[in-house]
Amino acid sequence: MLATTLALIAFVIAVAALFSGLMEKARAPEVALFLILGLVLGPHGLGLVDYPIASPVLATIATIGLVLVLFTDSVSIDVAAAKAQRRLAMFVLGPGTILTALVIAVAGWLLLGLGPAPAAILGAALASTDPVLMRSLMRRPGVPDVARQTLSLESGLNDAVLLPVVLIAMLFLDNMPGQRAAPSKMVIDLFLLGPGAGILVGFIGVTVLERVRRHFGVRRDYESLYAIGLALAAYAAAEALHGSGFLAAFAAGLTIAATDAELCDCFLDFGQAGAEIFLLFTFVALGASVIWTGLDVISWQAVLFAVIALLSRSAVLAAGLKRHNLDSVSRRLIVWYGPRGLSSLLLVLLPVFAGWPGGQQLFSYASLVVLLSIIGHGGALMFWRGVLPVSATGETESGDALVNVTHKPREKAPERISIAEVRRLQEAGEPVHLLDVRKQRDYRKADATIAGALRMPPDDAALRAAELALPKHDWLVAFCA
């Protein structure tokens, strides 16, 4: 099993790398490819791998996956953006998230016959929007800043709201192995020991790194690995104290984001790709067999529940966002795009791994919703070109310029060019276009910008350009500092 698992990890890395460009051009959700890959390799296909729901390997994969989801979400949070959009973020994360979970829980109670505690777990799990699926939209050019920031904050922070609901509801499940904790101890374990351990590990880790960095220097790629190590250390420390390791991982990431911007940026530069590969591997493991159990529970009640689960968030946000001053594109994106994916599956797996007998049924219902979400939310981005309508001037309805260049760079053109050389080209009358490809965080913090520079996202800048129709033989000079 170990050799098979290692071979599968290697295969996932190779597939993710080789097909990344194709999936980007097709605008297809990567998770769909890896679910199908798991189906082909699993018992329903070639029979090479099988991770049943009670498998210790799946439990380990899912645990590490949830730790990385929570840590990546929190360490990616732009604190300045959160403060700037705090009113909108507080609505989406507060009433928007809680009411969505409540509606789904009530639907599970009425349509599926679940008890209060299982319904609460299912409602909380399915109210979680998935950051892995969200990246398909976040990478698209022209997404308005307010929509990008709001959706990123929602997918990054709503697990911190919903995870305690799942953990508390698990204490009230019937036939749950182990003794039920006293309310006071439960509060201490969940809301003090777990986050406290995460904050402590994050703070100590950043302090030690800063001293080593100042005296000896640390490679940036190793700093990203160091950040992942802090996430795992936070989880282990909290579990050793009988707290929630998941809340600890989230708290550790939030501490890093708030105290050490350089370590945070290093993780985003190098570590996030490694974390994403592991999350895609988790989709392969789930796709081998267990996620398809969602098809076994199909009935009119289950389908109606799934529809309510997918539409409840949109209904809640559509009503609540009327009081917020948003442009039409941002409002439409925030209301419509709430994919359910890995986060939902990992949250609903927690009672399964805790040994609760009814966990398989909850997971099957959640799997049905996730499969429909991948088709609905992921598929719509492939075919619905009207999400970001473009005018003749190359701008979206929100006014954000789309800067895309599909032509290849000049042959023998230097990879780097000095400021003096740029000035000489401009003085000679050469057509020069300056492209500001700084990270969004650095762009917002900058005191000044270069006049006439075209603002564009840093990811695949040279490929995101056709809307402005820049002449093929002009000079394109991108700068990031």
Q: Which tens digit of pLDDT belongs to each residue from 89-147?
A: 888 888 999 999 999 999 999 999 999 999 999 999 999 998 777 777 776 666 777 88
Any idea what the Cα angle at residue 313 is, between residues 311 and 315, rounded to 5°?
70
Look at residue 472 in the predicted model and tell me its pLDDT: 64
Query: What pLDDT band is residue 159 in, cutting at 50, 70 and 90?
Result: confident
Domain finish residue from 370, 387, 404:
387
Look at residue 176 in the predicted model and tell me its pLDDT: 74
- Asked whether residue 372 falls in the same domain as residue 439, the answer is no
- Asked whether residue 97 falls in the same domain as residue 177, the answer is yes
Look at residue 1 in the predicted model and tell me its pLDDT: 61
Look at residue 390 in the predicted model and tell me its pLDDT: 42
pLDDT-wise least confident of 99-108, 162-171, 275-284, 345-354: 275-284
Asked whether residue 393 is assigned to any structural domain, the reply reads no
- Asked whether residue 316 falls in the same domain as residue 442, the answer is no
Look at residue 107 in the predicted model and tell me its pLDDT: 96
Give CA separation, 407 vs 195, 413, 414, 434, in Å: 49, 14, 16, 16
Residue closest to 185 by CA, chosen among 243, 139, 232, 134: 243
The answer to whether residue 174 scores a pLDDT higher than 70 is yes
- Asked whether residue 332 falls in the same domain as residue 372, the answer is yes
- Asked whether residue 378 falls in the same domain as residue 425, the answer is no
The answer to whether residue 412 scores a pLDDT higher than 70 is no
Arithmetic mean of pLDDT over the chain? 80
Secondary structure in 3-state letters for the chain: CHHHHHHHHHHHHHHHHHCHHHHHHHCCCHHHHHHHHHHHHCCCCCCCCCCCCCCHHHHHHHHHHHHHHHHHHHHCCCHHHHHHCHHHHHHHHHHHHHHHHHHHHHHHHHHCCCCHHHHHHHHHHHCCCCHHHHHHHHCCCCCCHHHHHHHHHHHHHHHHHHHHHHHHHHCCCCCCCCCCCCHHHHHHHHHHHHHHHHHHHHHHHHHHHHHHHHHCCCCHHHHHHHHHHHHHHHHHHHHHCCCCHHHHHHHHHHHHHHHCHHHHHHHHHHHHHHHHHHHHHHHHHHHCCHHHHHHHHCCHHHHHHHHHHHHHHHHHHHHHHHHCCCCHHHHHHHHHCCCCCHHHHHHHHHHHHCCCCCHHHHHHHHHHHHHHHHHHHHHHHHHCHHHCCECCCCEECCCCECCECCCCCCCCCCCCCCHHHHHHHHHCCCCEEEEECCCHHHHHHCCCCCCCCEECCCCCHHHCEHHHCCCCCCEEEEECC
Query: What pLDDT band is residue 289 in, cutting at 50, 70 and 90?
Result: confident
- Asked whether residue 49 falls in the same domain as residue 118, the answer is yes
Q: Average pLDDT, stretch 381-406? A: 45
The answer to whether the predicted template modeling score (pTM) of the entire model surpasses 0.85 is: no
- Asked whether residue 137 falls in the same domain as residue 39, the answer is yes
Strand order in the sheet with 454-455: 454-455, 432-436, 475-479
Asked whether residue 395 is assigned to any structural domain, the reply reads no
- Asked whether residue 219 falls in the same domain as residue 298, the answer is yes
Residue 216 tokens read as: 């000896």
Look at residue 411 in the predicted model and tell me its pLDDT: 43
Asked whether residue 73 is assigned to any structural domain, the reply reads yes
- Asked whether residue 65 falls in the same domain as residue 190, the answer is yes
Asked whether residue 123 is assigned to any structural domain, the reply reads yes
Query: What pLDDT band is residue 440 in, cutting at 50, 70 and 90?
Result: low
Look at residue 389 in the predicted model and tell me its pLDDT: 45
For residue 459, what are the domain limits?
419-479
pLDDT-wise least confident of 296-300, 362-366, 421-425, 437-441: 437-441
- Asked whether residue 179 falls in the same domain as residue 281, the answer is yes
- Asked whether residue 194 falls in the same domain as residue 60, the answer is yes
- Asked whether residue 277 falls in the same domain as residue 188, the answer is yes
Asked whether residue 251 is assigned to any structural domain, the reply reads yes
Decide which of 463 and 65 is more confident: 65
Contact in structure between 63 and 69 (CB atoms under 8 Å): no
Domain CATH number, residue 371: 1.20.1530.20
Asked whether residue 394 is assigned to any structural domain, the reply reads no
Number of domains in the chain: 2
Buried b (16+ CB within 10 A) or exposed e, 42-80: beeeeeebbbebebebbeebbbbbbbbbbbbbbbbbbee
